[in-house]
Structure 1
Amino acid sequence: MDTKTIRFIRRGELVALGNVPPSRTLLEVLREDLGATGTKEGCGEGDCGACTVVLGEAVDGQLRYRAVNSCIRLAHSVDGLAVWTVEDLAGPDGALHPAQEAMVRCHGSQCGFCTPGFVMSLFGMYQNHVCHGRTITRALAQEELSGNLCRCTGYRPILDAAQQMAQLPRVAVDEPALLAQLRSLAADQAGDGAYLAPTTLAGLLAARAAHPQAQVVAGCTDVGLWVTKQHREFAQVLDVTRAAELRRVEDYPQHIAIGAAVSLTDAYAALVAQRPQLKTFADRFAGLPVRNAGTLGGNVANGSPIGDSMPLLIALGARLVLMREGGHRHVALEDFYTGYRRNVLAADELVAWVLVPKPHPAEFLRAYKISKRFDDDISAVCLVVRLELQDGRVAAVGIGAGGVAATPVRAVRTEAFLAGRPWTEATAREAARVLRDEFQPISDMRASAGYRSQVLGNLMHRLWLESQGEDRINLERFVLEEVAA
């Protein structure tokens, strides 16, 4: 099957690559086809950040920069975009970019293998913050570098470098020229043959109906692992992320509607705008390069039992809009899954929208992620509890859990126990017992079954303490600078 020529802008020049298989990753194209070996392959699963590159895309007439993992990014997905690798940052005279110079001055490189990825994440920060006059705080640097791992444990000087970039002479991208180049590529981005990327919802649904056997992809943060770890190849790919209608977050009186092609970064920003207490939970969903690439719709459709989005959405009472040519239907998120990574989607259907109710004035919400690492790790247990408390009683409740069953689940028995009861410590303790008994988790590399059950109950008691104003029992209140002082 024929493949469309991939065209993107690099170093101000057009790069055109033909005959690229639909399963080939961006990292493979960069290293093997273009000789850009500064981009390293570490984990091959979007975890270590050594392969980080920055993509530029025209959004509403402005250039938007996103650091992503090239190891799990399909090469065809960058058609029509701008791409920067670590080789592209130095000036024509060899002068280092501030992201590079700051690393040198702060001694941020040790063995050097992870350094290109860190530099590219710093470049993304530079474009998104320094170039707009915004200060890079220590907290922001830690947040946006959470997807880059350094085995030499050299984080302190790297964080120093992030904060010192703004003190160096300014280096600017010629954005008007680049935007003009991107506009010239935008006329023919739909894709054809082996890699389909319709730019409208109607075109996407038609392609789904015509090619039900095609592998559907969004950000490829999971499908990319099938390529790198399972060595799977796809004869045909259907990319949902170019459909303009699905790239929006829409505001309605009772809910927000998050399109299936909205990145996790933007989707969580919309959720945090409604519920600011979710900020830390959102930041702990993988690292920034994964959130920049992955989509909420893809995360939901993938249905991993240890995905963090689904327990949150279940607790919030989210519903999905499933679409096909000529029709659509609504499904409660917890009813979407029929088994391990199985769902109710028909062969010609797609997840189109995630509808999230707006918060109730009496809502008390907490989202807990338990993992071995605080940042950039997969949950052993995820628990999200939403209570509506009125006159000291539980007027409404939603509980979503991950890591405790074959699918993300709603804790229906615990919800039934809590509904209408007075919210007291005795109620919370009994609810903890009911929650522990409701699921039979398995033991695996992340945690034992006994640990998971114990943690579920402990989190319910923690919820009680936080509802009474106790706020120094979690890492959200831990500030590194204060301890150091």
Structure 2
Amino acid sequence: MAPIRFVLNGEDRSVEGLAPTTTVLQYLRGPERLTGTKEGCAEGDCGACTILVEQPDGAGGLARRAVNACITFLPALHGRAVETVEHLGRDTPAPIQREMVARHASQCGFCTPGFVVQLHAAWRAGSLTDRQSVKDEIAGNLCRCTGYGPIVDAGVAVAAQAQPDTSVADAATAARLGAMRGAETFRYEAGGRLWLSPGDVDALADAYAEHPDATLVAGATDVGLWVTKQHREFPVMIDVSRVADLSHVEEAPGRLVLGAAVTHSQAMAHWTALHPDLGEVMRRFAGPQVRNAGTVGGNIANGSPIGDLPPVLIALGAVLHLRRGDEARSLLLEDFFLEYGRQDRAPGEFVAAVEVPVIEPEERFAAYKISKRTDSDISAVLAAFKLRFEGRIVVAARLAFGGMAGTPKRALNAESSLVGRPFDAAATARAAAALEDDFQPLDDLRASADYRLKTAANLVERFRLELLGGVPTRIAEVA
């Protein structure tokens, strides 16, 4: 067993005796008394707890990302560095701090540290380019006073400012963190609870085989809520975020393969290149802090019927790769989801990668996210369609939906109604009628069953209108 070793605001830390489910926020505000990092929601929605996490990038430098401290478990910091808002202005105010002050961008002040750290991280990453990019970068931060205007102005002002050259310091920090991390599986235990962090996929397979009832975590964007909201306890947790074999992206002829531990932020450019609609869906997926932590494999393995990514990948015909011990198998993603809360995954078996076919020239694709808010909101309906044409005739159809059933699911009856015919108004009317045989949606707080069925049918018609061309169906972003 070993202590949790990390760097906090430039100083080494070695922590033991705290439960593995202790959140970074609890540690910062408790033992460290770093109260600039706030607790707003304790579920990764408001961004008041945003911190900057650094880790070696494999090329001698550092990879930086902003994450929510409220749902990040303390052992996940092992071999990494953390910077809080108190450290940004240790010598001189950071550019975003100066611009926030100059524009009176803080009102009650509660949310301000989170905005500062998030915008600082985005600036360091080169993600601030214009006003819309600033809005995108703070989609995971809420201002209780609704004072967004000056905050956005401060972000725009920072976007044009030059980046500091920290390559020498970054290399030194990367080496320091590498020595802390070590090459073996990190094992941390406290209060009879165990945290394992394997360094490669074979070690992960062995650990999960030994502990098949363990809870797998990557970004903990869902498991974190099980702790903060449901107060659940986990005897064994296995962190997959350090498994390099699961963090690869492979672009090959005809397909895109993403390892299960690839974060949504890392996958963003690849999704956008695959199809702009997929990139747009994922731009509206949570906020940057959640996308920086959450993973492709986690969103799939979680099995949520309202997850945004699975319906899109089902429509594209994605194949899931799983591993259990030394055995590997593959299956169509749509076959992985059996019923609500149950997937085709044996004890000790984990998602290793997802393989996505590219869209062929004779195919047409679209994806639509319907939610009450534009940003950082759960979908009421997520629809994704792929049609293959020969001339004007549909020869193959894949219509997939989230939020319409207990699992992400294809609309097989609606698909059959389209195949062999032109994709015209009569076809979409048939599909609308068939959707009632495919789904019996639930009524809940997000939408009624009637709304969901009507929306699903309208989205098929919307797809047809867009394929016609020249028919505006999408509302432009409000400046």
- Report the TM-score, using the length of structure 2 for normalisation: 0.95
Equivalent-residue separation in structure 2 for 1:257 and 1:168 (angstroms): 36
Counting only pairs closer than 5 Å after superposition, residues 340-379 of structure 1 correspond to structure 2 as 340-379=340-379
Which ranges of structure 1 fall in alignment gaps of 5 or more residues? none
Q: Is residue 98–residue 170 contact of structure 1 (8 Å, CA) maintained in 2?
A: no
Equivalent-residue separation in structure 2 for 1:335 and 1:167 (angstroms): 48
| 2:85 corresponds to | 86
2:114 to 114, 117, 120: 117
- How far did residue 137 of structure 1 move? 0.7
1:60 to 37, 58, 61: 58
- SS where residue 465 of structure 1 aligns? helix
| 2:70 corresponds to | 71
Equivalent-residue separation in structure 1 for 2:62 and 2:284 (angstroms): 26
Equivalent-residue separation in structure 2 for 1:151 and 1:389 (angstroms): 50
Counting only pairs closer than 5 Å after superposition, residues 304-383 of structure 1 correspond to structure 2 as 304-383=304-383
| 1:47 corresponds to | 45
- SS where residue 480 of structure 1 aligns? coil
Q: Is residue 371–residue 377 contact of structure 1 (8 Å, CA) maintained in 2?
A: yes
Change (3 A) 1:438 1:170: closer
**Percent identity of the aligned residues?**
45
| 2:140 corresponds to | 147
- How far did residue 472 of structure 1 move? 2.8
- SS where residue 147 of structure 1 aligns? coil
Q: Is residue 340–residue 407 contact of structure 2 (8 Å, CA) maintained in 1?
A: yes
RMSD (Å), alpha carbons = 1.7
- How far did residue 178 of structure 1 move? 1.7
Change (3 A) 1:415 1:220: same
Change (3 A) 1:425 1:244: same
- SS where residue 355 of structure 1 aligns? strand
Q: Is residue 40–residue 49 contact of structure 2 (8 Å, CA) maintained in 1?
A: yes
Give the partner amino acid of 2:267: A
| 2:8 corresponds to | 10
Mean CA deviation greater in 44-53 or 162-171: 162-171
Change (3 A) 1:170 1:333: closer
Equivalent-residue separation in structure 2 for 1:169 and 1:305 (angstroms): 44
| 2:253 corresponds to | 253
- How far did residue 107 of structure 1 move? 1.7
1:218 corresponds to 2:236: no
Equivalent-residue separation in structure 1 for 2:236 and 2:394 (angstroms): 50
Give the partner amino acid of 1:65: R
| 1:36 corresponds to | 34
Give the partner amino acid of 1:158: I
Change (3 A) 1:170 1:248: closer
Equivalent-residue separation in structure 1 for 2:471 and 2:262 (angstroms): 33
Give the partner amino acid of 1:37: T
Q: Is residue 98–residue 171 contact of structure 1 (8 Å, CA) maintained in 2?
A: no
- Report the TM-score, using the length of structure 1 for normalisation: 0.94
Equivalent-residue separation in structure 2 for 1:229 and 1:387 (angstroms): 42
Equivalent-residue separation in structure 1 for 2:364 and 2:453 (angstroms): 23
- How far did residue 168 of structure 1 move? 5.8
- How far did residue 150 of structure 1 move? 1.3
- How far did residue 171 of structure 1 move? 5.1
- How far did residue 166 of structure 1 move? 4.5
Q: Is residue 30–residue 37 contact of structure 1 (8 Å, CA) maintained in 2?
A: yes
Change (3 A) 1:170 1:455: closer
Equivalent-residue separation in structure 2 for 1:76 and 1:293 (angstroms): 14
- SS where residue 242 of structure 2 aligns? coil
2:179 to 177, 184, 209: 184
- How far did residue 312 of structure 1 move? 0.4
Give the partner amino acid of 1:127: R
Cα deviation digits, residues 128-163 of structure 1 (max 9, x gap): 11xxxx762111111111111112111111111111
Change (3 A) 1:42 1:426: same
Give the partner amino acid of 1:175: D
- SS where residue 369 of structure 1 aligns? strand
